[in-house]
Structure 1
Amino acid sequence: MHRAAIERLLPAAYQRAAGPGSVLGALLDVMEALHAPDEAVLADVDALFAPYRTPDGFVAYLTRWVAMDHVVATPRPNAPLPLPVGRLRDLVAHGALLARWRGTPYGMRTALELATGVTGFVLDEPADRPFHVVVRVPPAAADQLALVTRIVEAEKPAAVTVEVTVLGDAGPPPPGPADSTPDRAVGRARVPSPVPVPAVEEPS
């Protein structure tokens, strides 16, 4: 509040005593200066919760709001983030989409692509191993296996086992039965197959 606004809240006798050079006047000046930082924050408080406007130090906190805090889980306090803050903002911005598709191949691939900044992840379901998924990581993301594993463990259905491997130079294996059917399945749990779209768009 500005000094004049604070002064109007005082009884008439105090207002008369708050003239220039008075002790009460100086106190009101101090009150105005103390209020200014908090009022500046409140005037733009919505920016704190906007993924691309919030301060860098607040982005990791917002991951808890969209159930993506496992991405930044670190064993030591104040440890550096495992991925650039820009990619972390992308994850927060797509939090609702990821929650909607959690447990599906599309959801897992989208989370992995947003977090690593790399495309080309392949999810296979071996026909001889029900409720098992093999996540094949593109070579460009081979240096982020710890992050990839953490995301895979959080995004997969609870009853499904997984293994994470790096794709060889020969490229991805041919599509298996799960890729050729109208419906995709994770651990044989039938889910609709979204039309392939870029990771930043919601599937139609």
Structure 2
Amino acid sequence: MRREAIERLLPPVYQRAAERGGVLVALLSAMETMHAPTEDVLASVDDLFAPYRAPDRLVLFLLGWVAMDHVLSRTRPDAPPVSSVSIGRLRDLLAVSASVARRRGTAAGLREVVETVTGHPVAVSEPADRPFHVVVRVPAAAADQLDLIRRVVAAEKPAATTADIVTEGEAS
């Protein structure tokens, strides 16, 4: 808050005293300096919640807000989350989280989440001969991310559905 704005909030007798300078002016200037960091944060508060402008340390927290923190892993239940996914892919996941939320529990929603976190195209099918079952076909290039893919599929598939994850080249 600028010194002049603080001064306008004071009673008239103090406002007149501030016109003459002195200790009150110095005190108001100190108050202005103390408010500056908070004012800077408030001026750009929307950056804290924007997927591509939020600080890196806040991205993991925001994933919890949009119910996508299952892409993170924990070494212990009380440990902070860690991610094997790059910060750029996590930001992409934040950006598509509203779209995914509308399609959660569908093959299209599952495919979008897996593709976003792995960076590889996948195919999700529902075999006609196996009701309540999905098959997620993953390219061989994503084979090193199978733990992540299993975690995402377990969280994103419908609750009463079973799932198989098949890497390219494997028999189905």
TM-score category, normalised to shorter length? 0.7 to 0.9
How far, CA to CA, are the matches of 1:140 and 1:32 in structure 2?
Answer: 56
The amino acid that maps onto 1:29 is S
Flag structure 1 segments of 5+ consecutive residues without an equivalent.
Answer: 174-204
Q: CA deviation at 1:128?
A: 4.9
Flag structure 2 segments of 5+ consecutive residues without an equivalent.
Answer: none
How far, CA to CA, are the matches of 1:80 and 1:30 in structure 2?
Answer: 41
The amino acid that maps onto 1:98 is V
- Does 1:40 find its partner at 2:57? no
- Does 1:27 find its partner at 2:19? no
The amino acid that maps onto 1:11 is P
- 1:84-137 Cα distance to aligned partner (Å, 9 max, x none): 111111111111211122222211111111111111x23344555432223222
Q: Name 1:86's counterpart in structure 2.
A: 88
SS at match of 2:131: coil
- Does 1:62 find its partner at 2:62? yes
SS at match of 1:130: coil
- Does 1:114 find its partner at 2:116? yes
Give the TM-score of the pair, scaled to structure 1.
0.73
CA-atom RMSD, angstroms?
2.2
Q: Name 2:133's counterpart in structure 1.
A: 132
- Does 1:15 find its partner at 2:50? no
Q: CA deviation at 1:80?
A: 3.5
Q: How many residues align?
A: 169
Q: CA deviation at 1:81?
A: 2.2
Q: Name 1:2's counterpart in structure 2.
A: 2
Q: Name 2:103's counterpart in structure 1.
A: 101
Report % sequence identity.
Answer: 57
Q: Which has the higher helix share?
A: 2
